[in-house]
Amino acid sequence: MEREKYESLSLAALRDIAKARGLKNVSTMKKSMLIDSMMSLDEEEAARPKTAEVHEAAVEKEKEKTKAEPKKKAVPEPEAVIEAMPPQEIQSVKETVLKENGANDISEEKKILDSGIEVKGILEVLSDGYGFIRSDNYMPGEDDVYVAPSQIRRFSLKTGDIVSGNMRIRSSNDKFGALLFVKSVNGIKPENMGRRVNFEDLTPIFPDERLRLETPRGPVSMRIMDLMSPVGKGQRGMIVSPPKAGKTTLLKDVARSITQNNPEMHLIILLIDERPEEVTDIKEAIEGDQVEVIYSTFD
C-alpha cells in the first residue's frame, strides 16, 4: 500500500491493521511511526520470493471460492470514486479526513498529558495575555494553575471567570501547573462562551425575588429585618451603627439565614482590615459548600 493511503486512514484504523499484521506495541506509537513500520513491513513482504506451489494453491483456492459464491457486483475502488467526484466534493472529503485524524491525534495527546487532577478557581488574566487560576484567597500562590493565551482567546475568558478543567502532568522544571483543557466556564460549556453578553451591557433592574431571613428557633433580629427592612436578591444594603453595637453578630446571623433558607446561593464574605481572630470566628460560624470567606488582615 502506498504511503498516501496509510496517511488517509485514522489512527485507530492504522492500529487495528498493525495489530492484525503482527506488529507489537502499537498502542504507544504515533501515527508517523505506525506508517513507517507498515511501509517497512510491506517492503519485507515484497522482497520475499513466492514459490510456485503457494501460487498454484492460491489459484485453486480462488477458483473454488468463485464456484461456491454467487457473482457479486463490482465495487469501485476508493481512488476511482474520488476521481469521479467534483473538485468541491474532493476538497470536502480531504478536509473531513484531516479533521478526523487531527481530532484523534489531539485526543491521544490529551490522554498522555492528562494528570487526572481537576482544578477549579477564579481566573486572573494578566496584561501579557496569559492568566492564572488563583487557589489561595484569590491571591498569587504556589498552587496557582497557568492558563495559556490560546485558551483565553479561544473561549473569550476574562478576569473573574470561574474556570474548571484538568491539569497537565507537571514536570520538575515547571514552576506552576498548567491547564490542559477547559471543562466549564461559570458553569457553562466553554464552546458557548463566545455568545455571552458583556456584564457592562446588561440591564440593571430592581430586585424581584425576596430573601427570607427568619428561621425556626433563629434570632429575633432576623424576623425584625424581614418586617422592617426586607432584602431581595441583587439588593444593596448598609449597616450603620456605633462601635461594639453588634454589627458583626448581625452579619453572621444574616449569612447563616441565607445559607439555611437558600442553599443554592453562593455566599462570599469579604473581610478587609479585620483582626485575624475575627476572620477565624466568622470562618467557624458560617460553614457550607457554597460559602467563601475572603479576607485581608491588617497585619
Q: Are residues 187 and 149 in the same domain?
A: yes
Q: Are residues 16 and 81 in the same domain?
A: yes
CA gap 157, 151 in Å, rounded: 8
Beta strands in the chain (DSSP E): 114-125, 131-134, 145-147, 162-168, 177-185, 210-211, 231-232, 267-274, 291-297
Q: 287 lies in which domain range?
A: 210-297
Q: What is the pLDDT along the chain (299 residues), one digit of tens a residue?
A: 567 777 777 777 777 777 777 777 777 777 778 778 778 877 777 766 554 455 556 656 666 666 555 554 454 455 454 455 555 555 565 556 555 554 444 455 556 666 678 889 899 999 999 999 998 788 888 889 999 999 999 888 999 999 999 888 877 787 888 888 899 998 888 888 878 888 888 899 999 999 999 999 989 999 999 999 999 998 999 999 998 899 989 999 999 999 999 999 999 999 988 889 999 999 999 988 889 999 988 76
Residue 141 counted as domain residue: yes
Q: Are residues 138 and 125 in the same domain?
A: yes
Q: Are residues 238 and 288 in the same domain?
A: yes
Which residue type, as a one-letter code, is found at position 29?
A: M
Q: How are the residues of the chain apportioned to helix, strand and coil, as percentages rounded to the nearest 5?
A: 45, 20, 35
Residue 188 DSSP class = B
Of the candidates 277, 229, 254, which has an alpha carbon nearest to the alpha carbon of residue 269? 254
Contacts of 180 (CB under 8 A, 6+ apart): 110, 113, 114, 115, 165, 166, 167, 168
Q: Are residues 95 and 133 in the same domain?
A: no
Beta carbons of 266 and 289 less than 8 angstroms apart: no
CA gap 258, 152 in Å, rounded: 34
Q: Are residues 96 and 163 in the same domain?
A: no
CA gap 286, 292 in Å, rounded: 9
CATH of the domain at 185: 2.40.50.140
Q: Are residues 124 and 85 in the same domain?
A: no
CATH of the domain at 228: 3.40.50.300
**Segment 82-91, tens digit of pLDDT:** 455 555 555 5
Give me the residue label for grid cell 450603620.
240
CA gap 178, 180 in Å, rounded: 6
Q: Are residues 191 and 248 in the same domain?
A: no
Residue 172 counted as domain residue: yes
Q: Of 200, 231, 247, which residue sits at a domain end?
A: 200
Residue 63 counted as domain residue: yes
Of the candidates 169, 171, 176, which has an alpha carbon nearest to the alpha carbon of residue 141? 176
Residue 205 counted as domain residue: no
Three cell numbers, residue 88 = 468541491
Residue 252 counted as domain residue: yes
CA gap 133, 197 in Å, rounded: 22
Residue 51 counted as domain residue: yes
**Segment 174-215, tens digit of pLDDT:** 788 888 889 999 888 888 887 888 888 889 999 999 999 999
- Domain count for the chain: 3
Q: What is the pTM of this model?
A: 0.56
Q: Are residues 25 and 57 in the same domain?
A: yes
Rounded to the nearest 5 degrees, what angle is found at the Cα of 287, between the Cα atoms of 285 and 288?
Answer: 160
Rounded to the nearest 5 degrees, what angle is found at the Cα of 79, between the Cα atoms of 76 and 80?
Answer: 50
Q: Are residues 101 and 174 in the same domain?
A: no
